[in-house]
Chain A
Amino acid sequence: MDPVLDVDGLFVSFPGHGRTLLPAVEDLGFAVRPGETLAIVGESGCGKSATALALLGLLPRHAVASARRLRIAGTDLAEADPQACREIWRRHRGGRIAMIFQEPLTSLNPVLTIGEQVAEAVRAHEAVSWRAARGRAFDLLRRVRIPQAEQRLDAYPHQLSGGMRQRVVIAMALACRPAVLVADEPTTALDVTVQARVLDLIAEIQEETRTALVLITHDLGVVADRADRVLVMYAGRAVESRAASALFAAPAHPYTRALLAARPRPGWTGARPRLPEIPGRVPGLGERGAAGCPFAPRCAAVLPACRIGRPDLIVLDGGTAACLRAGEFAAQETPRAAFG
């Protein structure tokens, strides 16, 4: 099956001091097929959210984005500048690709009713009356299992719990049956008990509608449970991009290995020994561009050659990784293979 989302050579930069441009995302490529889930993982500042916003043309006005290919549901938008081709992008957003945001309270308008906010999403893409759109909103609220959907139509966001609000956001995203759904840390702001239920709902809808899902998260437990493919980003670049099963069986990039090692496992109670952490931090936007592998300063398996040139993508079992020693690591069965 052809991918419904096909991205190649995506670059996003933000203006720095003077006339310089600081790269936030560099030469990123990925593809997602209908019904498939791609997880994008990495620490904060790795370019995950910039990637998500670029897919919807929602980057801040001052950001500069370009792509060799940005094909969404059959249309290539690489040549359509979001500022210049507003109408093309407007129809595309919410219609073919929709987004679920991290913070359900602030992503809903506090002074408009739930019903209006869901109904306007329908009306943005279909010529239906408010009455009909309200009927659709009711169906959508029931679809995302909001109890007493009829009354909730006239409720305001502050009258709902965090989990309910996120369901409303999901209902808005589903309004026009998008081919691609981008979820940017959809459960980070929610109670742990609610997180799984919201993710189950997304998975169920995905199953039913064959929507392609781009799941941005730093929760590797979620990734192990739900992703088909995983894209690990570091400092704006893909460092490992592989099938989830292959990646969790034998992570090929030291950064992936470090992320996995830093993850609490079932049975861990918070007592000692402490979880291993990755020393240092992600280089800031202005600190990139040095020769060599960007992860080299923090890497436990660094070689002298790592500091000389940027490692090429190496093709491995189930995908690629950008590390000189990727083949060596991918061949090792990690002691912590049983994730999830």
Chain B
Amino acid sequence: MIRTPAGRLFWARRLAQMVLVVLSIGTVNFLLLHLAPGDAAQVLAGESGSASPEYLAALRRQFGLDRPFPVQFGHYILRLVTFDLGFSHRQGLPVATLILDRLPATLLLMSASIGLAVLLGGALGFLAARRAGGLADALISGLALLFYATPVFWVGLMLTVVFAVWLDWFPVGGMRAIGATSGPGAILDIAHHLVLPPTTLGLFYMATYTRLMRASVLDVQDRDFVRTARAKGLADGRIAWRHVLRNATLPIVTTVGVQVGSILGGAVLVETVFSWPGLGRLAFEALFQRDLNLLLGILFLSSILVGVANLAVDLAYARLDPRIGLQG
């Protein structure tokens, strides 16, 4: 795929597209945040209690907030291109340091959620389609509809109440127990913390993929090539795995690519509910503190994350479906 000249051209074009998209998103982010009233200087001055106009002006000068808008914007874009995310005056640390500190937690939460949603949703949807019209189908479809309709924050709260408070099976929040050691014990500790948050975030998407997979399998099952496979005398298992599932997975992959962005958005909520030390909570705090640099940095990184995820989906798609890949 990548080895052929056409393949190389395709991926080069996709990469250029991604850079362009990320830069455009950066621009929009910058404009949006400048349209919102208030800046970091106001918040800082308000908190210190001495909000004299002189103090404010001094703060603004210090942060470069007093310069004309085009200059600020030019600086911002220049810094984006060089991956210099600036300094968070609120936290007193470089933005890059803050983000890199939180990134692993969010990536862990997201991949666990997506993994759960895709694997479980795919399996349930497949099962429902194979037993279409039966009891298992009715049960699975009913559950999927229920999870699909339930708000994520409510699921989070209820899971906490039942499994963390009443049953005390899992911790209420956080990613590690206080005073946890490193080594294998730490991995188990994180895994223990990593049950409720991805379940909360993943249930909605699991429901989506269950419904999608069910519809997709039912569609593929009636295609001519499945009849051909049966006419060849293949065993039912091989037809289901090799012929039906392989084709039915394609829409799921597409949808995951589209939804990575919204899963990242959902992570903000879940991280807040479970005090998960990830990017989402950092963004939440930055927003309330008018920490413009930090917020822009997080948004910039998010757009890169989504862009990379989409690129990965394209790559996966080209591997799964030989008809796709080289057409730009």
Task: Give residues in A with beta carbon < 8 Å to B.
Answer: 56, 58, 86, 90-95, 98-99, 101, 103, 106-112, 120-121, 124-125, 156, 158, 169, 172-173, 175-176
Further contacts, 15 of them, CB under 8 A, given A94-B231, A99-B231, A110-B322: A56-B231, A86-B236, A90-B233, A93-B233, A98-B232, A107-B224, A108-B225, A110-B225, A111-B323, A112-B243, A120-B234, A124-B238, A158-B322, A175-B232, A176-B233
Q: Which of A58, A90, A120 has a CB less than 8 Å from the CB of B227?
A: A58
Residues of B near A172 (CB, < 8 A) are: 228, 232
Interchain CB contact under 8 A, A111 and B322: yes
Complex interface: chain A residues within 8 A of B246 (CB): 109, 111-112
Is there a chain A Cβ closer than 8 Å to B229's Cβ? yes
Q: Select from chain B the residue with minimum beta-carbon distance to A172.
A: B232
Asked if residues B323 and A109 are in contact (CB atoms below 8 Å), the reply is no
Chain A nearest CB: distance from B283 CB in Å? Answer: 39
Query: CB distance A125 to B224 under 8 Å?
Result: no
B224, B235, B247, B321: the one contacting A124 at CB < 8 Å is B235
List chain A residues, Cβ under 8 A from B3. none
Which residues of chain B come closer than 8 Å to A107, judged between CB atoms?
A: 224-225, 227-228
Q: Is the interface of B mostly helix, strand, loop or mixed?
A: helix
Known contacts A109-B243, A111-B322, A112-B246; is A101 also within 8 Å of B233 by CB? no
Q: How far is the CA of A90 from the CA of B232 in the complex (A)?
A: 8
The A contact surface, by secondary structure, is loop
B interface residues, Cβ below 8 angstroms from A: 223-225, 227-236, 238, 242-243, 246-247, 320-323
Q: Which of A86, A92, A106, A176 has the most CB of B within 10 A?
A: A106
Q: Across the interface, which residues of B come within 8 angstroms of A124, CB to CB?
A: 232-235, 238
Least CB distance, A168 to chain B, in whole angstroms: 10
The verdict on A58 contacting B243 (CB below 8 Å), with A86-B236, A103-B224, A110-B225 known, is: no
User: Is the beta-carbon distance between A101 and B228 smaller than 8 angstroms?
Assistant: yes
Contact A106 B223 (CB under 8 A): yes
Choose one: B224, B235, B321; the contact of A111 (CB below 8 Å).
Answer: B321
- Cβ of A296 to closest chain B Cβ, rounded Å: 35
Nearest A residue to B238, CB-CB: A120
Q: In the bound complex, do residue A95 and residue B321 qualify as a contact, i.e. CB atoms below 8 Å apart?
A: no
The 9 closest A-B pairs by CB, nearest first: A94-B233, A106-B224, A93-B233, A121-B232, A94-B232, A156-B322, A109-B225, A107-B228, A124-B233
Known: A58-B227, A108-B225, A172-B228. A92 touches B323 (CB 8 A): no
